[in-house]
Amino acid sequence: MAKLTVIVPVYNVEDYVKKCIESILEQNFRDYELILVDDGSTDKSGRICDEYARQDRRIRVIHKENGGPAEARNAGLAETRSEYIVFIDADDSIDSRYLDMLYQCIRNSNADLVMCCTTVIMDERADKPVFEYDDILSGIEIISKAEAYKRMMLPGNTSTSVCAWGKIYHRELFRTVRYPVGEFYEDCRIIDLIIEACQRIAYIPYAGYFYLVRQGSITHGEMTLEHLKAVENAGRLLRLVEEKYPELKPIARGYYAGECLLVCRELSMNPEYRKECQWLRQEIITGRKELVRYSCFSLEMKCSVFCICVGIPFYKAMRNMRNRIYHRQSVL
């Protein structure tokens, strides 16, 4: 039996999945099984997965009808045979020692969950960071549940993500927990259940997960009302923090207002979402002080906070003006 299972949900990512699989196969840690869950892809993704499975006995492919990333992750969980579980998105990639570092950390710390940082990739051609692995392993921390939430909500050098990736889990955490099928941001929906089930959590200062920001993905595609799930999940986290970890309330309020801001900026450009944007605006106004204090937003984003607080029509006018200026500069 393999020491850990890597689960990769795959859906219409023929231009990216090879790089993802290759980054896994290039790991210096070899004792793993790789479960590729083809979620009803209509491009060549499923066939690419099958080709790799024929070449490497550690790879298993599950073909299923399209049901979304939550259903795909759950299908992988149902087939895992290892003590530890790692999730990777099919358009992302990992450092050559990613599995080794996470496995060493969870074994040496006797933790149920290990969290690490993420390197955000805006340009696939950009150089990846170089890591000092000995320093990373000496920097392992045992952290409280409150600290885990803090590092997910508070941007900075030690921040982690509320998403499924960037972590290694003991399989017992998923004994009674599954991802909610049919929801956007389904991994964010259960992170509090995972953390609350932990007896011991570790953090490793290592950004070996390479998260690719690309248009057309579920989270970075056209904004619809489904993206309000991000706000709903942040609201759930805020209520939990207010009840169990009141010292984190200002940070949680800033995190919640930040999610409202990100969604409001995009929905505001569609007049059909006027009612929703007015509600989001009120939430941003309520948490604006914490948002500005605890976020690492750019100057442009902080200007968005000011403009939206003045009013949605004012924000749209300022954004349209900015776009016209950028367009003129690009023409010149």
218 domain residue, yes or no: no
- Together in a domain, 242 and 309: yes
Q: Which one-letter DSSP state was computed for residue 14?
A: T
Residues 169 and 235 in one domain: no
Instruction: Report the pLDDT value the prediction gives residue 127, as an integer from 0 to 100.
Output: 76
190 and 81, same structural domain? Answer: yes
Among residues 212, 233, 267, the one where a domain terminates is 212
Q: Last residue of some domain: 212, 235, 259?
A: 212
Q: Indicate the pTM of the whole model.
A: 0.91
Which residues 6+ apart lie within 8 Å of 134 measured at CB? none
- Of 238, 267, 276, 274, nearest in space to 255 by CA: 238
Does some domain include residue 164? yes
Give the domain extent around 22.
4-212
CA distance 321 to 88: 39
**Cα distance between residue 26 and residue 5, in whole Å:** 15
Instruction: Say whether both 20 and 73 belong to one domain.
Output: yes
Residue 327 is predicted with a pLDDT of 60
pLDDT of residue 141: 96
Domain membership of residue 217 (yes or no) is no
| Domain presence at residue 43 | yes
- Work out the pLDDT band at 67, boundaries 50, 70, 90: very high
**Whether residue 31 has pLDDT greater than 90:** yes
- Rounded to 10 deg, the angle between the 145-153 and 249-267 helix axes is 30
Is the pLDDT reported for residue 2 higher than 60?
yes
Q: From CA 73, how far away is CA 8, in angstroms rounded?
A: 7
Q: How many domains does the chain have?
A: 2
pLDDT value for 324 = 82
Q: Are residues 246 and 320 in the same domain?
A: yes
pLDDT beyond 90 at 330: no
Q: What is the pLDDT of residues 107-163, one digit of tens each?
A: 999 999 999 999 988 877 777 888 989 889 899 999 999 999 999 998 766 678 899
Whether residue 206 is found in the same domain as residue 229: no
| Same domain membership, residue 86 and residue 199 | yes
State the CATH number of the domain containing residue 116: 3.90.550.10
For residues 154 and 279, state if they share a domain. Answer: no
Q: pLDDT tens-digit profile of 176-210?
A: 999 999 888 888 889 999 999 999 999 999 999 99
- Give domain status of residue 219, yes or no: no
